[in-house]
Amino acid sequence: MFRLYYNLAKKSTLIVFLGLFLFSTVVEAKIPNDPDYSKQQKIWQQIGAEKAWDYTTGSNQVTVAIVDTGADIWHGDLKNNIWTNPYEISDNGYDDDGNGLVDDVHGWNFIENSNDIRTSVFDNTDDPDAINHGTVIAGLIGAVGDNGQDGVGLSWKVKIMPLRAIASDGSGSYVQVIEAVRYAIDNGADVISLSMVGFNDDISLKKILREAYDAGIVVVAAAGNDQRSGNGNLNNIRHYPICMDVDSAENWILGVSSVDENDQLSKFSNYGNCVDLFAPGQNIFSTQRYSPVYGYNKEFDGPWKGTSFSVPLVAGAAALIKSLRPDWSAKDIINNLLKNSDDIQSKNLDFPNDVGFGRLNIGRAAESALDGSQITYFLPKEKYYFKGNVIFTKHDEINYFFADTGDASIITLAAARSFNNKLDEVYSLTKRNNYYYVQFFTEQGHRWMEKAVPTTDYSTKKIPTGIKIVTIDSQRKVQLEFTEKLVKKGKKTTNKITIKQYGWLDQN
């Protein structure tokens, strides 16, 4: 039986709770090789994730703060995407960054006031749903993709910042949530995921969430699961924090509710004018808190159900867009996700004014983000030049080493500049023996990819006699032109090929 999760503590300090369901069971698009992806595929296809992954699978320069019960940062499918505080030295017992928190290497536990952000599992008052909650959300946002393990998150590359502000029995207060949001702001989060609801407004929480938005952070909040109890219409009974911006002229909290696989409003899901966007919230599979000694035996399972799990799909989508458009503000990202959503009004005629902008379509949103990016292609003689296999760059009339191309000799260079002229991508067309390659460099000179150019065909005795970069288009496709000569007949033909590279480069 499905059951609504309302584990309210009896203490008077409780003013927020998790909104989730758990259903126990025995249990040309980019397709990952993860063995449990088949359990997730319908959900990812519903929101266009496979199309989005053709453009980007995320960036390690994007950080998502998850304000929840903590997360299993040792989980094999999460550990490589866990955020690390660059200003804190691990386990030296000292507050290196001066923020008042000792050894906050991967986030902070505001419940037990410690740096242990793995959800506690030992107390007999703990609730298994709450214990798994934060790790399920972390996996939906950022489980590593295409690594042959478990399933995937929407952003295969991302930095997850777990902030424990809800206890393992599902209870919490705005005080800890406010502290967690402050931490996220101060430590450079790009997205904040809030899969929780409360019935009380709070001016301090509202103020700090608005501060987060003004700092460029996308704030994503859950609608709650009260429809079956008769309290699902948020126009009549407001929930928080999702409704904190409802009377504002600006949409600065991205409120999320749930639909089923047919894009119909979930039977449990809240609705109303506080909700902006819908995402699947049923039949959800993801990573789970793993601690077999205490009975938590499954690293990946489901299905989970609730608006709690619609939120990380939207938070992960915001992270993907941020990886494509690091110059965009929170407003830009929110507008992109809303305007590119799918209209589901015809499937929800019983809710004529309550299906927001529609259901998340991250595939269309990613495509739109790239179409809107203004890329200037240029031959970089004024900034970059080469000699042999070494690339140099010039600043203030001084020449500096930039990068080398290994054992491949450089034929020519090109570059693309984007995002308000803030970043460059550098491309080197090179030759190694009888083969040609395009090498990709970040602005810091990090060679992060090399792709072969399919020109020479010895089976027909064709050899290239000339090759050059023609242009780089708005989706970072490197257009090349080359002349091939048929050896026996001496006939020459001119051909064009494209080396594709979607997305923006990680600046690691």
- What is residue 439's predicted lDDT score, i.e. its pLDDT? 85
- What is residue 161's predicted lDDT score, i.e. its pLDDT? 98
Confidence of residue 457 (pLDDT cuts 50, 70, 90): low
| Segment among 6-15, 110-119, 167-176, 346-355 with least mean pLDDT | 6-15
CA-to-CA distance for 268 and 288, rounded, in angstroms?
23
* pLDDT at 423 exceeding the cut of 60: no
Mean pLDDT of 471-484: 65
* pLDDT at 22 exceeding the cut of 50: no
Q: What is the DSSP string of 404-437?
A: E-TTSEEEEEEEEEETTTTEEEEEEEEEETTEEE
Determine the straight-line distance between the first and last CA of the chain, rounded to whole angstroms: 47
| Segment among 135-139, 236-240, 404-408, 434-438 with least mean pLDDT | 434-438
Confidence of residue 215 (pLDDT cuts 50, 70, 90): very high
Mean pLDDT of 441-466: 69
3-state SS assignment for residue 449: strand
Confidence of residue 5 (pLDDT cuts 50, 70, 90): very low
CA-to-CA distance for 109 and 165, rounded, in angstroms?
7
Taking only the tens place, the pLDDT of each residue in 65-75 is 999 999 999 99
User: Reading across the β-sheet that carries 390-395, which strands appear in turn?
Assistant: 384-387, 390-395, 398-404
Could you identify the residue written with the tokens 């409802």? 246
Residue at 470: amino acid letter:
V
Q: Could you give the domains of the chain? A: 41-371 (3.40.50.200), 376-500 (no CATH)
Cβ atoms of 257 and 223 closer than 8 Å? yes
- What is residue 382's predicted lDDT score, i.e. its pLDDT? 61
Q: List phi, psi (to 5°) of 427.
A: -120, 130
* pLDDT at 498 exceeding the cut of 70: no
* pLDDT at 139 exceeding the cut of 80: yes
Cα-based angle 337, 222, 75 (whole degrees, multiple of 5): 90
Cβ atoms of 102 and 114 closer than 8 Å? no
Total-model pTM:
0.75
- What is residue 126's predicted lDDT score, i.e. its pLDDT? 82
Of 316, 285, 301, 297, whose CA–CA distance to 195 is shortest?
A: 316
- What is residue 504's predicted lDDT score, i.e. its pLDDT? 41
Of 325, 316, 282, 327, whose CA–CA distance to 49 is shortest?
A: 316
- What is residue 428's predicted lDDT score, i.e. its pLDDT? 85
* pLDDT at 479 exceeding the cut of 60: yes
- What is residue 303's predicted lDDT score, i.e. its pLDDT? 95
- What is residue 480's predicted lDDT score, i.e. its pLDDT? 73
- What is residue 421's predicted lDDT score, i.e. its pLDDT? 46
Please state the separation of Cα 334 from the chain's center in Å: 14
Q: List phi, psi (to 5°) of 344.
A: -120, 20
- What is residue 463's predicted lDDT score, i.e. its pLDDT? 61
Mean pLDDT of 210-233: 94
Confidence of residue 326 (pLDDT cuts 50, 70, 90): confident
Taking only the tens place, the pLDDT of each residue in 364-391 is 999 888 875 544 445 455 678 888 889 8
Confidence of residue 419 (pLDDT cuts 50, 70, 90): very low
- What is residue 366's predicted lDDT score, i.e. its pLDDT? 93
- What is residue 393's predicted lDDT score, i.e. its pLDDT? 85
Q: What is the mean pLDDT of the chain?
A: 84
Confidence of residue 233 (pLDDT cuts 50, 70, 90): very high
Tokens at 236, concatenated: 């009549």
Tokens at 269, concatenated: 């899901």
Mean pLDDT of 287-308: 92
Mean pLDDT of 291-298: 88
Mean pLDDT of 137-158: 96
User: Which DSSP category does 459 fall into?
Assistant: G
Contact partners, residue 360, CB within 8 Å, separation at least 6: 47, 277, 278, 279, 313, 314, 317, 337, 341, 342
Mean pLDDT of 77-104: 94
